[in-house]
Amino acid sequence: MFYESFPAERFFTEITTESEARTLLWRSRFQGKEFQCPTCQAEAFYAIRTRPEVRTCRVCLRQVRLRAGTIFQASKTSLLLWVKAVFYVMQGTRGMSAQELQRHLGVKSYGRVWGMLQKIRSALQHRDAGYRVGNGVLELDAGTFGRRASGNQCDVLVAIETKAWVDAKGQARSRAGFAKILVGKETKAHAQQLVDTGMRPGALVNTDGSPSLRYVAGVDLDYQVVSSDKDVCERWLPWVHKFIANAKAWVNGTHHGVRVKHLGRYLGEFTYRFNRRHDVPRLFHQAVVACLLAPPVTFCALS
Ligand SMILES: [Zn+2]
């Protein structure tokens, strides 16, 4: 069975039992194989009928537990429910609120579904954390999320790879690549942190006249003061503004606003989907792999 691209009608006929969900996770973990020992790379394994979430290497006897070291660790939720949750969240371009997911999964407790969603988001966020943007010219800017009146407001710094060219008909064209975000006040220190952890050294960066963004070191930075003129702004930093506007619409529309302390995980999901928008058929598979590769999330980190 091949899971890379999994249309809904196949998912709901092929993944109906705990055993099928487990098989999907084992194969996703080992790149399509039934097993590959993390210690000695051997592919032969022992399975115990009474403990189907454990496989043991035939060569070095290393035990691999399916949930250990993943976001499913210490969870009493069935793997079938987990896999279904990931499937629903990765359908479509907008994801799902906890309420919608609760309805789809038929689970009584809203809190339980909300916690699952947060763990999935944290895995998606973790998956992109190590990537550094630097292809083409980066657009760098910040947007403010939430409302000041409610005390629930936070800046988000966004950097996006872009490529511009002139097509055969002489039309100016441009395309966006990977995006990278940092949730935090728009300060020089945070801008530098985004550069140091998320950009390749020497990357070409365009930004606006904001003093907190234009004095970062380690990249080749150019800026235009655009705050007073919307047209100039649209021409100079089109993609980053589109990203911020869409992210705000998503947070407010799909999720009816998000508390600042959770914003990083929500925008982690948004950015994950944005970064893979040209590869939608493989989104579910990639998200399952992300869940298996991300470290466990403690309850304290969520509350
Ligand atoms: Zn081994």
pLDDT in tens, 112-159: 999 999 999 999 999 999 899 999 999 999 999 988 777 889 999 999
188: three-class secondary structure by DSSP: helix
Task: Tell how far the Cα of 289 is from the centroid of ligand 1, in angstroms.
Answer: 21
- Residues 176-207 have pLDDT tens digits of 999 999 999 999 999 999 999 999 999 999 99
Sheet holding 63-65, edge to edge: 45-48, 51-57, 63-65
The rounded distance, in Å, linking the Cα atoms of 23 and 177 is 34
The rounded distance, in Å, linking the Cα atoms of 239 and 221 is 17
Look up residue 295 and give its amino acid: P
Task: Tell how far the Cα of 156 is from the centroid of ligand 1, in angstroms.
Answer: 44
**Sign of the CA dihedral with 277 first, then 280, 284, and 289 last:** negative
Task: Tell how far the Cα of 43 is from the centroid of ligand 1, in angstroms.
Answer: 8
Q: What angle do CA 81, 82, 83 make, to 5 degrees?
A: 95
Task: Tell how far the Cα of 49 is from the centroid of ligand 1, in angstroms.
Answer: 20
- Residues 57-95 have pLDDT tens digits of 999 999 999 999 999 999 999 999 999 999 999 987 888
Task: Tell how far the Cα of 60 is from the centroid of ligand 1, in angstroms.
Answer: 4
Give the global pTM.
Answer: 0.92
Q: What pLDDT is attached to residue 34?
A: 94
